[in-house]
A = this chain, B = another copy of it.
Amino acid sequence: MLDNGKQRADLDAVFRPRSVAVIGASDTESKIGGTPLYYLRSRGYAGRVIPINPKAPEIQGLPAYANIKDAPGPIDLAIIAVPASLAVQALQDCADAGVKGVVMFSSGFAEIGEEGAAAQSQMQDIARKSGLRLMGPNCLGFMNIEEKIFATFAPVVKAGVAPKGRIGLVSQSGAFGGFAFSVARERGIGLSYWITTGNEADLGFAESVEWLATDPGTDVIVGYMEGCRDGDGLRRALDACRKAGKPLVVCKVGKTEAGAKAAASHTAALAGEDAVFEGIFRQYNVLRADSIEECLDIAYAASIAGLPSGNRVGFYTVSGGAGVLMADTAEAHGLDVPEFTRATQDKVLEMVPFAGTRNPLDITGQVGQIPGASRKALGLITADGTCDTVVSFISAAGLSPLGLEIAEDIAAVRAQSPDVLQVVSTLPSPEFRKAVEAAGVPVFEDPNRAVKAVAALARINRGFQRTDTAPDAQPTPLTVPEACTEPLALAALGKQGLPVVDFRHVATAAEAGQAAEELGGRVVVKIVSPDIGHKSDIGGVELNLSGRAEAEAAGERILAAAGAKAPGARLDGLMVAPMRRGVAECVIGVQRDPTFGPVVMFGLGGVHVEALRDVVFRAAPFSEDEAHAMIHEVRAIRLLTHPRGSDPADIGALARLLSQVSQIAAASPGLESADMNPVLAMTDGALILDALLLD
């Protein structure tokens, strides 16, 4: 929605208001209508604050008005903190008064059932008609940390505020958002905005994220999601983050059965199919984290250090053991741990003869006895050209007085080699933390968490390098033939330019024999019927047939079997196709997702799809580059890249086919689902052997 400049400006008025009214303002600071007023007054908001209360001329020392329509304008933002029964009227009053944005705390709407949903729908209408933007209802509101705007009654603010920083946080759950805020505050992680979206009658998760992507004070965005009702909006928001080069880290719950059940009982939003979400996140380079801790680790590192320019990591360690552990963790999370150059190793050994130098550089605890060696050694491996990030493990030294010297060393090296990220793991004193963070160096207590955060940043960087634009080709929409059989489906796909097996559709067993002779080699003969799904189950498929006689005999058996075992089915002759061998059988599917529209699935055939559920999704359309990434996400990828007794599969051809399928899927509203199974991955090319289309 923010493509429209006016709408962006509207949200600016919500998130950066120059005046804030509180409807239902209370003198009691702990009350829902007293808390935001108290926060706004006591925490230094520079704009106008206007209490609205029909019963009191003054609230918390400020002149109050009976109705927002009586208050002096213009009013950018109104907070509505009244019971549900009064909320709709209050919103209408805001609209009448020309208020630009409303944050509604009131609960008792869609989350409680039909009646509430009706009232919520009324509010939606008011917002749409008047053009005001509504956050909530049933939300905890938001905070703009820089401008000290606390449009929230979240009690966590009483214990203190997280430092100003460059991480924007958006949560569909208020309680969860409040917890994340507290954790950030306790860890000293800086935030720009904190936003909770509640029932999302108007302004939702997606638009909030999209707005943060345009906010110059926000570099990194953390999201907590339970569901999504507007797939297009979400994709626009994710795309905005990607285009702005801002890392987006999301914790999306409902992964497992228990989680999904709990989510359904908790929120009014629809939970999408998790595998599709996973695919969308991958597609838009969203880093999906499993916990709030992981979200904050990654966002913290990105907001302090930025992104590394590659995957290679070097380690500097005072403990060999910690070095091995970090190297293990790095490789397990997709980082490369290259050996330092011989020249660099030799220079380090000249200074510190007892060091292990390959990578990790195990400088040992005794390095402290050689003045200046620590900074020089770190400088050498950093300037070595072999690594994009250096992680230093200095044990508990961050707590000691010596720590500040080390902090200076690291800061100096960071400044000397600005292209290489520095990350440090130690137990830090507050002074140590401040010193390294000021130099753009994040600090982690646990060395593994430091490495995992670096791996996440490297993955985000890789994702940003990918070509994200689907080709401009506008394929003709695919129309699913009436009573679609396999030959019709294959023909339809072939007509779209997709590689399909060279098959023959014949009427009789004799013609099948003749087709076999024409095709030569071994063939397969199958029954053709729009009504028979699992052809093998009724004896409708015979494989490995050689020559006219075998094929004709097989055709007779198949027609007889179909007649006997599927008596009601419409039969449409036989299909004959050459037996083709390749590297591995794959599956490509298309389905129309209720949230995201047409999505494309890829997996390896047979047990990998059915028993092991090793499949990946993307929203259509997508580029070949994206398809490459998609293919490499299947767990059994080695079956394509390192097959036994064969050259690797032609991944390029598979990627091309997947991208083509995605474009057709996107252009064909009449295609409900497609199932290309198997698709043969060959050393040269890919071939659709069987297909099913549904409209």
Which residues from chain A sit less than 8 Å from chain B, CB to CB?
155-156, 159, 171-176, 178-179, 182-183, 186, 224, 226, 251, 253-259, 261-263, 265-267, 290-293, 318-325, 327-332, 337, 356, 358-360, 362, 364-365, 395-396, 399-400, 427, 445-449, 607, 610-612, 635-636, 638-639, 642-644
Number of copies: 2
7 contacts between A and B (CB under 8 A): A173-B321, A183-B446, A226-B324, A263-B324, A266-B324, A266-B356, A290-B329
A259's partner among B186, B224, B226, B331 (CB-CB below 8 A) is B331
CB contact under 8 A between A327 and B262, given known A159-B400, A292-B446, A321-B171 = yes
Q: Is the CB of B175 within 8 A of A365?
A: yes
For the complex, what is the distance from the CA of A327 to the CA of B395, rounded to whole Å? 34
A156-B427 Cα distance, complex, nearest whole Å: 11
Question: Is the Cβ of B291 less than 8 Å from the Cβ of A446?
Answer: yes
- Please determine whether A611 and B183 come into contact, CB atoms closer than 8 angstroms: no
**Which chain B residues lie closer than 8 Å to A290 at the CB level?**
328-329, 448
Tell me the smallest distance from the CB of A394 to a CB of chain B, in Å: 9
Given A262-B324, A265-B362, A612-B639, output 15 extra A-B contacts at Cβ < 8 Å: A173-B319, A176-B320, A178-B319, A253-B321, A255-B328, A256-B327, A258-B327, A262-B358, A262-B360, A263-B320, A266-B323, A292-B448, A610-B644, A611-B639, A611-B642
Q: Are A253 and B186 in contact (CB under 8 A)?
A: no
A549 to chain B, nearest CB (A): 18
Q: How far is the CA of A186 from the CA of B396 in the complex (A)?
A: 10
Chain B residue nearest to A294 (CB atoms) is B448
**Could you say which residues of chain B place their CB within 8 Å of the CB of A266?**
320-321, 323-324, 356, 362
> In the complex, what residue of chain B is closest to A358 when comparing beta carbons?
B265
How far apart are A440's CB and chain B's nearest CB, in angstroms? 25
If the complex has contacts A226-B324, A319-B176, A321-B175, are A293 and B262 also in contact, measured as CB distance less than 8 A?
no
> Which residues does chain B contribute within 8 Å of A325, judged by CB atoms?
176, 251, 253, 259, 291-292
Q: For residue A316, give the distance in angstroms from its CB to the closest CB of chain B.
A: 13
- Residue in A292, A320, A400 whose Cβ sees the most chain B Cβ within 10 Å: A320
Contacts of A359 on B, CB cut-off 8 Å? Answer: 258, 262
B contact residues around A643 at 8 Å (CB): 611
**A338 closest partner in B (C-beta):** B258
Tell me the bound Cα distance from A445 to B291 in angstroms.
Answer: 12
Q: Are A159 and B226 in contact (CB under 8 A)?
A: no
Chain B residues within 8 Å of A327, by CB: 256, 258-259, 261-262
Contact residue among B175, B178, B320 (Cβ-Cβ distance under 8 Å from A320): B175
